[in-house]
Amino acid sequence: MKSDFWYRFLKNKMAVAGAVVVILLFVVSFLSPFISPYDPNEIDLTNVLSSPSEDHLFGTDQLGRDVMSRMIWGAGISLKVGFVATGIAIFVGAILGAIAGYYGRWVDAVIMRFVDIMLCFPSFFLILAVIAILEPSIWNIMIVIGLTGWMGITRLVRADFISLKERDFVQAARGIGASDFRIIFRHILPNAMASVLVAATLGVAGAILTESALSFLGIGVQPPTPSWGNILTAGKDNIDIAWWLSLYPGLAILITVLGYNLLGEGIRDSLDPRLRE
Protein backbone atom coordinates (compact mmCIF):
# COMPACT_ATOMS: atom_id res chain seq x y z
CA MET A 1 0.00 0.00 0.00
CA LYS A 2 2.71 2.49 0.97
CA SER A 3 4.82 1.74 -2.09
CA ASP A 4 1.73 2.05 -4.28
CA PHE A 5 0.92 5.44 -2.72
CA TRP A 6 4.44 6.77 -3.27
CA TYR A 7 4.50 5.45 -6.83
CA ARG A 8 1.26 7.25 -7.67
CA PHE A 9 2.33 10.39 -5.81
CA LEU A 10 5.75 10.67 -7.46
CA LYS A 11 4.14 10.05 -10.83
CA ASN A 12 1.98 13.15 -10.31
CA LYS A 13 4.24 16.03 -11.37
CA MET A 14 1.93 18.73 -10.01
CA ALA A 15 1.81 17.05 -6.60
CA VAL A 16 5.60 16.80 -6.52
CA ALA A 17 5.85 20.48 -7.45
CA GLY A 18 3.52 21.30 -4.56
CA ALA A 19 5.61 19.20 -2.19
CA VAL A 20 8.78 21.02 -3.31
CA VAL A 21 7.16 24.39 -2.58
CA VAL A 22 6.07 23.23 0.90
CA ILE A 23 9.51 21.81 1.69
CA LEU A 24 11.21 25.03 0.56
CA LEU A 25 8.85 27.02 2.78
CA PHE A 26 9.84 24.84 5.75
CA VAL A 27 13.55 25.26 4.96
CA VAL A 28 13.26 29.04 4.64
CA SER A 29 11.26 29.23 7.87
CA PHE A 30 13.68 27.17 9.96
CA LEU A 31 16.79 28.80 8.52
CA SER A 32 15.45 32.35 8.66
CA PRO A 33 17.95 33.50 11.36
CA PHE A 34 20.82 32.35 9.14
CA ILE A 35 19.68 33.29 5.63
CA SER A 36 18.01 36.60 6.40
CA PRO A 37 20.40 39.31 5.12
CA TYR A 38 19.18 41.93 7.63
CA ASP A 39 17.27 42.23 10.87
CA PRO A 40 13.62 42.29 9.70
CA ASN A 41 12.79 45.13 12.11
CA GLU A 42 15.92 47.23 11.48
CA ILE A 43 14.82 50.75 10.52
CA ASP A 44 16.95 52.76 8.09
CA LEU A 45 15.38 56.15 7.41
CA THR A 46 18.11 56.96 4.88
CA ASN A 47 16.94 54.08 2.69
CA VAL A 48 13.16 54.52 2.62
CA LEU A 49 11.25 52.87 -0.27
CA SER A 50 14.40 51.95 -2.16
CA SER A 51 13.77 49.89 -5.26
CA PRO A 52 15.29 46.39 -5.60
CA SER A 53 19.08 46.52 -5.79
CA GLU A 54 22.16 44.45 -4.94
CA ASP A 55 21.98 45.56 -1.31
CA HIS A 56 18.23 44.98 -1.01
CA LEU A 57 17.09 42.37 -3.53
CA PHE A 58 13.39 42.97 -2.81
CA GLY A 59 13.76 46.67 -1.99
CA THR A 60 12.85 48.40 1.27
CA ASP A 61 9.58 49.52 2.84
CA GLN A 62 8.33 52.87 4.14
CA LEU A 63 10.65 52.61 7.19
CA GLY A 64 13.70 51.47 5.27
CA ARG A 65 13.38 47.84 6.43
CA ASP A 66 14.62 45.13 4.07
CA VAL A 67 11.58 43.51 2.42
CA MET A 68 13.36 40.25 1.65
CA SER A 69 14.30 39.78 5.32
CA ARG A 70 10.75 40.52 6.42
CA MET A 71 9.36 38.04 3.91
CA ILE A 72 11.77 35.33 5.07
CA TRP A 73 10.70 35.81 8.68
CA GLY A 74 7.08 36.12 7.57
CA ALA A 75 7.27 32.58 6.15
CA GLY A 76 7.61 31.30 9.72
CA ILE A 77 4.53 33.26 10.78
CA SER A 78 2.56 31.75 7.92
CA LEU A 79 3.64 28.22 8.85
CA LYS A 80 2.84 28.75 12.52
CA VAL A 81 -0.63 30.11 11.80
CA GLY A 82 -1.37 27.44 9.21
CA PHE A 83 -0.36 24.46 11.32
CA VAL A 84 -1.70 25.60 14.70
CA ALA A 85 -5.05 26.73 13.26
CA THR A 86 -5.41 23.53 11.23
CA GLY A 87 -4.38 21.45 14.26
CA ILE A 88 -7.16 23.04 16.33
CA ALA A 89 -9.68 22.45 13.54
CA ILE A 90 -8.64 18.78 13.19
CA PHE A 91 -8.77 18.20 16.95
CA VAL A 92 -12.28 19.62 17.32
CA GLY A 93 -13.61 18.24 14.04
CA ALA A 94 -12.20 14.73 14.47
CA ILE A 95 -13.63 14.31 17.99
CA LEU A 96 -17.09 15.62 17.10
CA GLY A 97 -17.18 13.66 13.83
CA ALA A 98 -16.07 10.47 15.57
CA ILE A 99 -18.74 10.79 18.27
CA ALA A 100 -21.47 11.64 15.75
CA GLY A 101 -20.58 8.83 13.37
CA TYR A 102 -20.07 6.17 16.05
CA TYR A 103 -23.10 6.74 18.24
CA GLY A 104 -25.53 7.99 15.60
CA ARG A 105 -29.21 8.65 16.48
CA TRP A 106 -29.85 11.74 18.62
CA VAL A 107 -26.13 12.31 19.27
CA ASP A 108 -25.50 12.50 15.54
CA ALA A 109 -28.56 14.72 15.04
CA VAL A 110 -27.48 17.24 17.69
CA ILE A 111 -23.88 17.49 16.50
CA MET A 112 -24.75 17.76 12.82
CA ARG A 113 -27.41 20.43 13.46
CA PHE A 114 -24.72 22.40 15.30
CA VAL A 115 -22.47 21.94 12.28
CA ASP A 116 -25.26 23.22 10.02
CA ILE A 117 -25.72 26.28 12.23
CA MET A 118 -21.99 27.04 12.10
CA LEU A 119 -21.97 26.66 8.33
CA CYS A 120 -24.72 29.28 8.05
CA PHE A 121 -22.25 31.97 9.12
CA PRO A 122 -19.71 33.12 6.50
CA SER A 123 -16.44 32.03 8.13
CA PHE A 124 -14.38 35.06 7.18
CA PHE A 125 -16.94 37.56 8.48
CA LEU A 126 -17.30 35.54 11.67
CA ILE A 127 -13.51 35.69 12.10
CA LEU A 128 -13.58 39.45 11.45
CA ALA A 129 -16.25 39.94 14.11
CA VAL A 130 -14.42 37.89 16.73
CA ILE A 131 -11.01 39.46 16.03
CA ALA A 132 -12.58 42.92 16.17
CA ILE A 133 -13.83 42.12 19.69
CA LEU A 134 -10.64 40.47 20.88
CA GLU A 135 -7.18 42.00 20.87
CA PRO A 136 -5.52 41.36 17.47
CA SER A 137 -2.63 38.95 18.07
CA ILE A 138 -1.14 35.95 16.36
CA TRP A 139 -2.47 33.56 19.02
CA ASN A 140 -6.01 34.93 18.83
CA ILE A 141 -5.88 34.64 15.05
CA MET A 142 -4.74 31.01 15.16
CA ILE A 143 -7.41 30.05 17.72
CA VAL A 144 -10.23 31.84 15.92
CA ILE A 145 -9.31 30.43 12.50
CA GLY A 146 -9.11 26.95 14.02
CA LEU A 147 -12.43 27.23 15.85
CA THR A 148 -14.21 28.37 12.68
CA GLY A 149 -12.73 25.75 10.37
CA TRP A 150 -13.61 22.38 11.94
CA MET A 151 -17.00 21.76 10.30
CA GLY A 152 -15.67 20.14 7.13
CA ILE A 153 -13.42 17.82 9.16
CA THR A 154 -16.43 16.79 11.26
CA ARG A 155 -18.39 15.81 8.18
CA LEU A 156 -15.49 13.84 6.71
CA VAL A 157 -14.78 11.91 9.92
CA ARG A 158 -18.47 11.25 10.53
CA ALA A 159 -18.89 9.77 7.03
CA ASP A 160 -15.86 7.52 7.51
CA PHE A 161 -17.08 6.36 10.92
CA ILE A 162 -20.52 5.46 9.58
CA SER A 163 -18.81 3.26 6.99
CA LEU A 164 -16.11 1.77 9.24
CA LYS A 165 -18.10 1.03 12.40
CA GLU A 166 -19.81 -1.93 10.73
CA ARG A 167 -16.57 -3.55 9.55
CA ASP A 168 -15.48 -6.94 10.87
CA PHE A 169 -12.50 -5.61 12.86
CA VAL A 170 -14.81 -3.29 14.81
CA GLN A 171 -17.28 -6.09 15.50
CA ALA A 172 -14.38 -8.26 16.68
CA ALA A 173 -13.22 -5.49 19.04
CA ARG A 174 -16.73 -5.24 20.48
CA GLY A 175 -16.84 -9.01 20.81
CA ILE A 176 -13.78 -9.09 23.07
CA GLY A 177 -15.23 -6.35 25.27
CA ALA A 178 -13.28 -3.31 24.08
CA SER A 179 -14.63 -0.01 25.39
CA ASP A 180 -16.19 2.58 23.09
CA PHE A 181 -13.25 4.89 23.76
CA ARG A 182 -10.77 2.24 22.63
CA ILE A 183 -12.80 1.30 19.58
CA ILE A 184 -13.16 4.93 18.50
CA PHE A 185 -9.60 6.11 19.04
CA ARG A 186 -7.62 2.90 18.61
CA HIS A 187 -9.46 1.01 15.89
CA ILE A 188 -11.64 3.34 13.79
CA LEU A 189 -10.07 6.81 13.91
CA PRO A 190 -6.63 5.73 12.57
CA ASN A 191 -8.42 4.22 9.56
CA ALA A 192 -10.29 7.48 8.96
CA MET A 193 -7.20 9.69 8.94
CA ALA A 194 -6.48 9.48 5.19
CA SER A 195 -9.27 11.91 4.27
CA VAL A 196 -8.36 14.07 7.28
CA LEU A 197 -4.76 14.33 6.03
CA VAL A 198 -5.96 15.66 2.69
CA ALA A 199 -8.33 18.14 4.36
CA ALA A 200 -5.55 19.25 6.72
CA THR A 201 -3.17 19.98 3.85
CA LEU A 202 -5.80 22.07 2.10
CA GLY A 203 -6.73 23.64 5.44
CA VAL A 204 -3.20 24.94 5.99
CA ALA A 205 -3.45 26.83 2.68
CA GLY A 206 -6.79 28.30 3.72
CA ALA A 207 -5.45 29.37 7.12
CA ILE A 208 -2.42 31.08 5.54
CA LEU A 209 -4.69 32.92 3.11
CA THR A 210 -7.03 33.99 5.92
CA GLU A 211 -4.15 35.25 8.08
CA SER A 212 -2.76 37.23 5.16
CA ALA A 213 -6.16 38.79 4.52
CA LEU A 214 -6.59 39.73 8.20
CA SER A 215 -3.09 41.21 8.35
CA PHE A 216 -3.79 43.13 5.14
CA LEU A 217 -6.89 44.62 6.79
CA GLY A 218 -4.83 45.60 9.83
CA ILE A 219 -6.46 43.23 12.35
CA GLY A 220 -4.11 40.31 11.92
CA VAL A 221 -0.45 40.03 12.88
CA GLN A 222 0.50 43.44 14.23
CA PRO A 223 3.64 45.39 13.29
CA PRO A 224 6.54 45.27 13.78
CA THR A 225 6.14 41.46 13.55
CA PRO A 226 6.73 40.68 9.85
CA SER A 227 3.86 39.10 7.95
CA TRP A 228 3.18 38.83 4.25
CA GLY A 229 -0.20 40.44 4.84
CA ASN A 230 1.08 43.56 6.59
CA ILE A 231 3.82 43.96 3.94
CA LEU A 232 0.99 44.03 1.40
CA THR A 233 -0.70 46.76 3.46
CA ALA A 234 2.41 48.90 3.07
CA GLY A 235 2.31 48.10 -0.64
CA LYS A 236 -1.30 49.30 -0.86
CA ASP A 237 -0.36 52.61 0.73
CA ASN A 238 2.56 53.11 -1.68
CA ILE A 239 1.32 51.32 -4.79
CA ASP A 240 2.24 54.18 -7.14
CA ILE A 241 5.89 54.44 -6.10
CA ALA A 242 6.78 51.06 -4.55
CA TRP A 243 5.45 48.23 -6.72
CA TRP A 244 7.78 45.70 -5.06
CA LEU A 245 5.89 45.93 -1.75
CA SER A 246 2.84 44.42 -3.47
CA LEU A 247 4.48 42.11 -6.01
CA TYR A 248 6.79 39.99 -3.86
CA PRO A 249 4.51 39.20 -0.88
CA GLY A 250 1.61 38.68 -3.29
CA LEU A 251 3.65 36.13 -5.25
CA ALA A 252 4.76 34.46 -2.01
CA ILE A 253 1.15 34.01 -0.88
CA LEU A 254 0.08 32.80 -4.32
CA ILE A 255 2.88 30.24 -4.65
CA THR A 256 2.49 28.98 -1.06
CA VAL A 257 -1.27 28.50 -1.26
CA LEU A 258 -0.95 26.92 -4.70
CA GLY A 259 1.77 24.58 -3.40
CA TYR A 260 -0.36 23.36 -0.50
CA ASN A 261 -3.39 22.91 -2.76
CA LEU A 262 -1.38 20.90 -5.29
CA LEU A 263 0.07 18.77 -2.49
CA GLY A 264 -3.36 18.13 -1.01
CA GLU A 265 -4.85 17.21 -4.38
CA GLY A 266 -1.90 14.92 -5.07
CA ILE A 267 -2.29 13.12 -1.74
CA ARG A 268 -6.02 12.70 -2.37
CA ASP A 269 -5.49 11.30 -5.86
CA SER A 270 -2.81 8.91 -4.57
CA LEU A 271 -5.02 7.63 -1.76
CA ASP A 272 -8.20 7.28 -3.83
CA PRO A 273 -8.63 3.55 -4.66
CA ARG A 274 -10.84 4.39 -7.62
CA LEU A 275 -7.79 5.82 -9.41
CA ARG A 276 -5.76 2.61 -9.18
CA GLU A 277 -4.94 1.02 -12.48
What's the chain look like in SS3?
Answer: CHHHHHHHHHHCHHHHHHHHHHHHHHHHHHCHHHHCCCCCCCCCHHHCCCCCCCCCCCCECCCCCEHHHHHHHHHHHHHHHHHHHHHHHHHHHHHHHHHHHHHCHHHHHHHHHHHHHHHHCCHHHHHHHHHHHCCCCHHHHHHHHHHCCCHHHHHHHHHHHHHHCCCHHHHHHHHCCCCHHHHHHHHHHHHHHHHHHHHHHHHHHHHHHHHHHHHHHCCCCCCCCCCHHHHHHHHHHCCCCCCHHHHHHHHHHHHHHHHHHHHHHHHHHHHCHHHCC
Strand partners, 60: 66
The predicted structure's pLDDT at residue 276: 45
Domains and CATH numbers, the chain: 2-34+65-275 (1.10.3720.10)
φ, ψ of residue 64 to 5 degrees: the values are 80, 10
The predicted structure's pLDDT at residue 160: 86
The predicted structure's pLDDT at residue 1: 53
The predicted structure's pLDDT at residue 110: 92
The predicted structure's pLDDT at residue 92: 92
The predicted structure's pLDDT at residue 2: 60
Spatial separation of the C-alpha atoms in residues 113 and 106, rounded to whole Å: 10
Contact 145, 207 (CB under 8 A): yes
For 135-176, what is each residue's pLDDT tens digit?
Answer: 777 888 888 888 888 888 999 888 888 888 878 787 887 778
The predicted structure's pLDDT at residue 143: 87
Report, as ranges of residue numbers, the positions in the chain whose pLDDT lies below 70. Answer: 1-3, 272-277
* pTM, rounded to two decimals: 0.85
